Structure 1
Amino acid sequence: MKKQARLVLEDGTVFTGKSFGAQGESLGEVVFNTGITGYQEVLSDPSYCGQIVTMTYPLIGNYGINRDDFETMRPFVHGFVVREHCEVHSNWRSEQTVDSLLKEYNIPGIEEVDTRKLTRIIRQHGTLKGLITTSDEPVESLLEKLKAPLMEDQVARVSTKNMFAAPGRGSKIVLVDFGAKYGILRELIKRGCDVIVVPYNVTADEIRRIRPDGIMLSNGPGDPKNVPEAIRMIQEILGEYPLFGICLGHQLLALACGADTHKMKFGHRGGNHPVKELATGRTYITSQNHGYAVSKESLTDTDLEISHIALNDGTVEGLTHKKYPAFSVQYHPEAAPGPYDSDYLFDRFLEQVAKFTKEEKNYAATR
């Protein structure tokens, strides 16, 4: 018999279900993801650090877990909520179950939850703090625990602690790791880049000593305003090298240029979000995972212009700098999981890098 588990929300709502994964207790921000597949990539996406993830698709775990589809070394979610957890996984690549993976990293899961009702609550009231527990404590006691503040140091928790290289013979790219998915590194390596991955708190001078051809600002968890050292670094380095920001990197570029960000009601999380590229009028289906967005009205007096917008709600999905070779997108062009419609942006970045490098060499030759 499976042990009973409960998901308690800060508004007093209680969902009772069955436990899978680790037993115990975990607190986090409850969010939902609309993906039909890709639960392994969701579990291992560092951008979910500090969050309890609800999957809206009703059956999770049917193709198991394999060694190839991780987006980082380990899962970072604080809890996993599903309608039905499939115990019998069936796929030729599968090596373990979702249950065993969560047990391995002490992450609690709860199944037999009405995820449609939970999603409606989040959509109506916004993201809520929640707690998954297998204890028999009274609800009143659990609600007291939910008064504790959510963590604000997620980026420091998920970023690499030391600089490391993924050698190549192409352009030298510094990847600033705010919680980078392997997908970003894969796309750069696939294009022959010589990638140097650096911690989130790298300084501008440390980057200059590497002498890169371009800089990539990765995705990551939490509020971008909780990473002030990164904002200062971008302000100092902007214009010296071509720059491409993804997700949290997009928000940090905006803050560094004088714009503002705000917390969304329930965010964008899934692999089917339509985004329009304003220059071409073309619509792309994108993979997204973010709870903060760049405030459109704050861009008025900056050197940034909007390049992409979300067709569902009009939020800012892309920015281009008017003076410097710098641009960013709120969504994930590396997908994983999701459609690969937007991987052309990596080629666009490297074209920008090549053009900038050529101009620098021509300038040096005329001095």
Structure 2
Amino acid sequence: MENLPKSIQVIFDKNPKLSELITNPRLISNSPFIFALSQKLNYSAKGNEDEYFYRIVFKEGSSRELMTINSGELRGLPTTTCIEKGKISDVAGLERVELDNESNLMPVLLGISLYSSIQNSLSYISNLCVDIRNHQILEGQARFERISETIVDIFNSIPDLALDKSLRDAYLSRIVKNNDDCYELYVSQREQLRHSLKGNNPDYNSKYYYENELYLFKDKLLTHPVFSVFERLVAGRICEIILSGNYSKSNIQRHKDFISKAESDINDIMASRISDLDRRISYYKRDIEMDRNLTRDGIEYHNTQIEKIELGISSIKKQIFNLLGVKLSSFDLLSQLMSKDEIDVFLIGGNLIVNDMQLTSDEML
């Protein structure tokens, strides 16, 4: 409740019963489009729809700073006059916005509600651009950054896009194209990962074999850009599902199957190197069983190495799962949310509030 704006908290304070109805409120949007939707519902209930809503359209390359009225009854409100460096530079246009009819509101509200519920679980999407510099991709860096920026922009715009069909359709086309570009970049990075292993053959005779392999995984393989691109591949597909409004099991599964194939490809590449560590364990175990000249200290050394390598393999597999499997589970989250019996959405004073759905621990598995 403390995360809500004071204007919303006041409404809850004045209406105590509201807290019983909305037990876990979350503000999704207080944008002009949400306010327009609230107004439209009010007008429809009153049988009065004599006002229209408009979107400001700027010319390409024009300043997006609008002049405001300084005095009188409309003081503080923006005009359509663009200003730049304190001078009038251009004039923006007004495009009438046709809000969806009430019969089409359910898919809209459903999409916004889903956005609310996955926002925390998929918070990494909003941070994709923050860690770009941590995943330098020498080949196609500009494309990588554009892909990331597009996903973040679309994900954060979902509440507003849900209320504007024409804009939503445009953004859907945009994310589909972006996902195609992201997949091409993924294929390139996947092959680079495969190639990097071919040039790093393990030295089984080195006494630092395990340390060298651990360094290879932690400093090169597990930080390879392919994981960052995979992360964006998942995020883009999630955005595509929400913007399409198609939450059927078959559609969610179709997207999941596509990502699962990408996950399997990376897992297979990593498994080929992990198998080298498994063979090293087998080597030590065979020595303990077969080498009659092996001293007690030698046996102890071998057992220590076996334990160390097994712990290392376990840690590596866990990190791979966090990089791949956890992201893939986003599709399961969508399916679980769609299986809910009801989703509560409230329009309060021009603000969209969702009674946040909580999954049980069993559902999150």
- TM-score (normalised: structure 1): 0.30
Higher relative contact order (CA 8 A, sep 6+): 2
Q: Higher Cα Rg: structure 1 or 2?
A: 2
Q: Which has the higher helix share?
A: 2
Q: Which has the higher strand share?
A: 1
